[in-house]
A and B are shown apart, each in its own frame.
Chain A
Amino acid sequence: MQLIEQGNQEAIRRMLSAEPVLIDVVPAKEIVPGLKDRMILHAGPPITWDRMCGPMQGAIAGIIVFEGWAKDLDAALDMAAAGEIEFDPNHHHDAVGPMTGMTTVSQPMLVVENKTGGNRAYCAINEGLGKVMRFGGNDQEVLNRLAWIRDVLGPGMGGALREMGGIELKPLIARGLSMGDEMHQRNVACSGLVLRAIASSMAKTSKDATALSEALAFISANDQFHLNIAMAMGKAIMDPLRDIEGSSIVTAMSRNGTEFGIRVSGTGDEWFTAPVEMPEGLYFAGYTEADANPDMGDSTIVETIGLGGFAMGASPAVAGFVGAGAASEAANYTHRMGEICASENPEWTIPAMDYLGVPTGIDIRLVVETGIVPTINTGIAHREPGVGQVGAGVVRAPMACFEQAVRRLAEKLGIS
């Protein structure tokens, strides 16, 4: 008991003292540890090709073609099925990726450094909404956009960030919360804040006015642009907690479209997995629940640090995705998540909730004890490869992950 409390205090201390800064954009092959040619990092806990869901397989086929390892999607699928590609979770390489979470050698990666912990975390750049690779899209339009991000946007952002000395993310998030973002489903304020911060340096470092204009237009038109920055930030904040003896704080939540997995500070890098659940939400024109793939992506790292579903009180508009849709219910989501968190974040506060700090540090013991599982705000992918996003909503983390983790932690601590 004492050991757990001490461990959790240390975990919360490390979380709250983190100083995440977006410092650069660098091609994955130069910076992501352990990443090799013909290797694909994916979202969620480890999974083999045959167990991957439709959108995950679709994204893999697309990224193989993008990397030039196969000439077309059919050849790419054969290659993947034949075991010619190595798969590994992003989380095993200091990285995260939304939805399918494709990370390969030539993609430009956002680099967030935690100045306190001295560690770095990486995430690819957000592609926008609709038919995109992270939701399983893989046609020429998708691949062309990825190539442009690789060749134009990524280098442009990297140059600007180096020139300006990076963007401090903690104050940016604090402002975003007061502007109605919860940083998972709604990033419109933070995306604007990032654009405002980076625009002049991009202009200063750009040699090509057309490319600059395209880059600024792309960021401006993408309400979710900041999501991937928030994810790299989440990973950078949580990684220093990965092995604190006794701590029952969750360090990662993540889904591969088949399974939901969590990692807990006191049990190191072990995954506790359970079948992933279906999101409840709203669908784009022409789609229904029948089209939806189960929950997917590393983006739950955002909830792990107290944002997303945990910060719903800051973002009443997002509450419209679930239940009766009353904005007045938004605060209750945050209160409910407070039941399962060890602490609150004094710097990330919600004005409409009398400046209550976002719930911080999911304690697996409290999840199991209260029966309240984390609420996650999420996008919904089409179940078939190649279609893309069809809706957005809310999903619950499966209780079984937390039960397994509690048992394992107890075992490790010698508690029967």
Chain B
Amino acid sequence: MEFTLNKVLQGFYKDSVALMRLSRDLVAMEGVNEAALMIGSPSNKQILRDAGLLASEGDAAEGGDLVVAIRAKDSKAAHAAAEAIEPQIMSQTRASDDDIDWRPQSIRSAAKASPDANLALISVPGEFAAAEARKALSRGLHVMMFSDNVSVEDEIALKIQARERGLLMMGPDCGTAILDGVPLAFANNVAGGEIGIVGASGTGIQEVTTLISNNGGGISQAIGVGGRDLKNEVGGISTLLGIDRLDSDPSTSHIVLISKPPGDRVLPKILDRITESSKPFTICFIGASNFNVPANATVTRTLKEAAQSALGGKSIGSEIVSKNQVSKEGKQIRGLYSGGTLAAESQVILLDAGLEVASNAAVPGASDLKNAAGMHQIIDLGDDQYTQGRPHPMIDPEIRREPLEEAMNNPNVGVILIDIVIGFGAHPDPAGQLVSMLAGTDKKNQPEIIASITGTEQDPQIRSTQVKTLQSAGVHVADSNADAAIAALQMLRVNS
């Protein structure tokens, strides 16, 4: 039997919007067919009457009273609903679930909100990135474009637009930069100093800046240019602009260039530009064959050597991680990398030691992974084939689990090389994640694991904490990625 219940709260006022919200909550309650909360004015009582909600108690209410009117399937349901709504009537504070702080939703309004900002970091899907970058550049903002999948045509047009306006166009696909001491995207908390870097490679910049910082040096600026900048099509526009900036920057005394080998038409332009400068340069084009080196430049094969050169030839790090030799039969090295340039550096070191190396991101001289039988394998887990639809291994190292298990149980593998990249943007505890993957594996007759950590004590993950975590699980920790690769060679006695 349907039951209409009216409760009158004498002299109780509440705003009509609040009452309508409460009415909606009341109607949604179990067994309630219709309900309303209204101030008992004559017109409101007429509305309640029309809705079949007015009982004699409600009819007696006056203009200053609140009527809670409920029509429910029975008396019990009506009383239960009345009781349930009462605390809400007495305190209707509804805090927002969302973060109520407004965030600008366009470059236009972000620039309006921060009129002093001079750089836009763009990280939107590739198809929209170029349009956003054009807007930023036309507002006089430098651009760091984290987005990839941007066409070469757009990249060239944006870089030309930036050059015309005297701005930096870093990227597309620029993962790392440190400008005026501010780390952007994937970057580390490094010491300030006089060494400036222009790099087409994110992890390459991270490895060199952290090695410099961990060994007494410091960084003035680290300018990323994106992986394609030194290809012939793009022509090194941003690299040249970056060199110009550092060359004229009085706080930069030494300039380091980091990239994969440049295109044949770009290389001479870069070398000519270096020759024009009065500052010393270090060039690390990983995997590049010989070229004519300008008198004011030093060419290095590895990132570690680049850091040493920038530090004035200071020897850094130790190539020995353990006096142990590999106990098991396996003689192959298996590298499982999150950083593409770190993977390239290891390939170079293995190739220079006369080994046969295969990789999914092969440097000149290395073989394709398809022909890897019997070879040492260096795998770049940040390559598209692994990251389709999942985060990059620097953000989520979970991608490493499967190939790690495979390598651990492969009788031919003697040493596993692993890079742990920490800093801003990276996983909060990549060492811990690795150790958890190793937990439960049989420690006997398994490959040795050598890891290096790209990062500093000042990074959120704290380098020494990451080292301890790894060592506690029996992982050897090298001072640099290059040292890890050399240590692997020593463990396998394949190098003197």
The interface of chain A, by Cβ under 8 A from chain B, is: 130, 282-286, 317-318, 320-321, 324-326, 328-329, 331-332, 335-336, 338-339, 366, 369-370, 372, 391
* Complex partner residue of A285 from B36, B95, B96, B104, CB under 8 angstroms: B36
B94–A285 touching, CB < 8 Å: no
Which A residue sits closest to B104, measured CB to CB?
A339
Residues of A within 8 A of B153 (CB): none
Verify B102–A286 contact, CB threshold 8 A. Answer: no
Q: Tell me whether A285 and B106 are in contact (CB under 8 A).
A: no
Asked if B17 and A324 sit within 8 Å, CB to CB, the answer is no
Contact B105 A339 (CB under 8 A): yes
Known: A285-B38, A338-B109, A366-B108. A326 touches B96 (CB 8 A): yes
Is B21 within 8 A of A325, CB to CB? yes
For residue A369, which residues in chain B have a CB less than 8 angstroms away from its CB? Answer: 106
30 example contacts (A-B, Cβ-Cβ < 8 A) are as follows A283-B20, A283-B24, A285-B34, A285-B35, A285-B47, A285-B51, A285-B69, A286-B34, A286-B47, A286-B51, A317-B15, A320-B15, A320-B18, A320-B21, A324-B94, A324-B97, A325-B94, A326-B95, A326-B96, A328-B95, A328-B96, A329-B96, A329-B100, A335-B102, A336-B102, A339-B104, A339-B105, A339-B108, A366-B106, A369-B106
Question: A329 and B106: CB pair below 8 A?
Answer: no
* Bound-complex Cα distance A335 to B113 (A): 11
- The answer for the CA separation of A337 and B17 in the assembled complex, in Å, is 23
Contacts of A318 in B (CB 8 A): 17
Among residues of B, the one whose C-beta sits closest to the C-beta of A329 is B96
Contact of A284 among B47, B96, B109 (CB under 8 A): B47
Chain B, 78-117, CB within 8 A of any chain A CB = 94-98, 100, 102, 104-106, 108-109
With contacts A325-B94, A328-B96 taken as known, whether A285 is within 8 angstroms of B21 at the C-beta atoms is: no
What are the residues of chain B within 8 A of A339 when measuring CB–CB? 104-106, 108-109
* B48 contacts chain A at the CB level, 8 A cutoff: yes
Q: A285-B23, A285-B53, A320-B21 are in contact. Are A326 and B100 (CB under 8 A)?
A: yes
Q: Do A329 and B98 touch across chains, with their CB atoms under 8 A apart?
A: yes
Min CB–CB distance A313 → chain B (angstroms): 10
Which B residue's beta carbon lies closest to that of A129?
B43
Q: Are A130 and B108 in contact (CB under 8 A)?
A: no
Contact partners of A366 in chain B: CB under 8 A: 106, 108
Interface string of B18-32 (1 = CB under 8 A from A): 101101100000000
- Nearest Cβ in chain A — how far from B125, in angstroms? 14
Asked if B268 is at the interface of the complex by the 8 Å CB criterion, the answer is no
Which residues 317-353 of B have a CB within 8 angstroms of A? none
Q: Give the chain A neighbours of B48 by CB distance below 8 A.
A: 285
Query: Once bound together, how far apart are the Cα atoms of A286 and B21, in whole Å?
Result: 14
Return B165 CB to nearest CB of chain A, in Å: 16
Please state if A370 and B17 are interface contacts (CB–CB under 8 Å).
Answer: no
| B50 within 8 A of partner (CB) | yes
Residues of B within 8 A of A285 (CB): 23, 34-36, 38, 47-48, 51, 53, 69
Residue among A130, A286, A318, A328 with the highest chain B CB neighbour number at 10 A: A286
Look across to chain A and name the residue whose beta carbon is closest to the beta carbon of B18. Answer: A320
Chain A residues in 8 Å Cβ range of B102: 331-332, 335-336
The closest CB in chain A to the CB of B48 belongs to A285
Contact assessment for B17 and A130 in the assembled complex, using a CB-CB cutoff below 8 Å: no
Any A CB within 8 A of the CB of B52: yes
Measured CB to CB, the closest approach of chain B to A220, in angstroms, equals 14
Q: Which 5 A-B pairs have the closest CB atoms?
A: A286-B51, A285-B36, A282-B20, A326-B96, A320-B17
What distance in Å separates the Cβ of A103 from its nearest Cβ neighbour in chain B? 27
Q: Which residues of B contact A336 (CB under 8 A)?
A: 102, 105
